[in-house]
Chains A and B, each alone.
Chain A
Amino acid sequence: MTCEIRHEGDVAVVALSGDIDLESSPKVRTALLDCVGLKQGVLVDMSEVSYIDSSGVASLVEAFQTARKSQTRFGLVSVSQPAMRVLELARLDRVFAIYDSVADGVQGAQ
């Protein structure tokens, strides 16, 4: 799993790739909460996520809730098919803002 952070304007784009599982999700959780803590909009690029489990989903939900409390925008971008299936199972595809591209997300998150 890799987790790369870049900034586009006032938005932090967190690009995740590989398997987000019980071993790697703590790193994802820390990265997302750090970005949310900066009071920036946060977009999570999930186009290269090959697998996500309940611990990875929990990291997304915690960051989403923390962002909401601090009135910071939080969204997902280009969610891969395997990851979308898991979000759908959790009924979270209706909860997260999900964008087709980083450009769409940046526009929506600012």
Chain B
Amino acid sequence: MSSLDNLAQGDPMSRAGDAAAGARLLALRVPASPDRLRLVRAAVSEAALASGCSEQCVRDIVLAVDEACQNIIKHAYHGDPSREILIDVCRDEKRLVLEIVDFADPVDTAQIKPRNLGEIRPGGLGTHFIQECMDATEYVPPPDGAGNLLRMVKRIS
């Protein structure tokens, strides 16, 4: 899954987490459990607001992170709440870079596609929401010991 074209400044997926590129706003490690998603949303919302994002921009970021975590809970961890998710939010001058890390087996990114919205059926909207809400998304090589790292970029507006 990737929509990396047409961003105005440089490489949209370059990592903002190092000191030279930007400031870390948030680092969370949470159990992969549905009852922790409210906490994740609240923390990410505060970080985005503190960065100067508009209300709509904040809502989009929160939805994308929530959906990414849901995908991990349901598909990567198969509902096992003993597993963990890492959420990292960094800011450089004009954008937020959000990284979601799991410790599951590597996903086949070729299989991750948004579904046809012409089909009216329950489910399958999470990937579509992530792509609609963010300016760029990409799976990048995870750190040692991790399974997958989804990097999402949103221009601050």
Contacts and interface: CB of A to CB of B under 8 A. Distances in A.
Interface stretch (A3-11, A47-55, A69-77): A47-55
A23 B35 contact: yes
Interface string A57-77: 111011011000000000000
The SS class assigned to the B binding surface is: helix
Interface stretch (B13-21, B96-104, B118-126): B118-126
B126 A54 contact: yes
Interface string B105-126: 0000000000001001111111
A21 B35 CA distance: 9
Interface stretch (A37-45, A81-89, A100-108): A81-89
Interface in A4-26: 19, 21-23
Interface residues of B, number: 26
Given A23-B37, A61-B121, A61-B122, A55 B70 contact: yes
Contact of B70 (A54, A65, A92): A54
B125 A90 contact: yes
Nearest to B122: A58
Contact of B125 (A21, A22, A51, A57): A57
A86 to B, nearest CB: 7
A73 B66 CA distance: 31
B70 to A, nearest CB: 5
Contacts of B133: 89
Contact of B132 (A21, A64, A89, A95): A89
Nearest to A68: B120
A53 to B, nearest CB: 5
Contact of B63 (A53, A64, A92): A53
B67 A54 contact: yes
Nearest to A58: B122
B38 A65 contact: no
Given A22-B37, A85-B56, A89-B133, A53 B67 contact: yes
Contacts of B24: none
B37 A54 contact: no
Contact of B129 (A51, A59, A89): A89
B34 interface: yes
B134 to A, nearest CB: 12
A19 B9 CA distance: 35
B122 A19 contact: no
Interface of A: 19, 21-23, 51, 53-55, 57-59, 61-62, 64-65, 82, 85-86, 89-92, 95
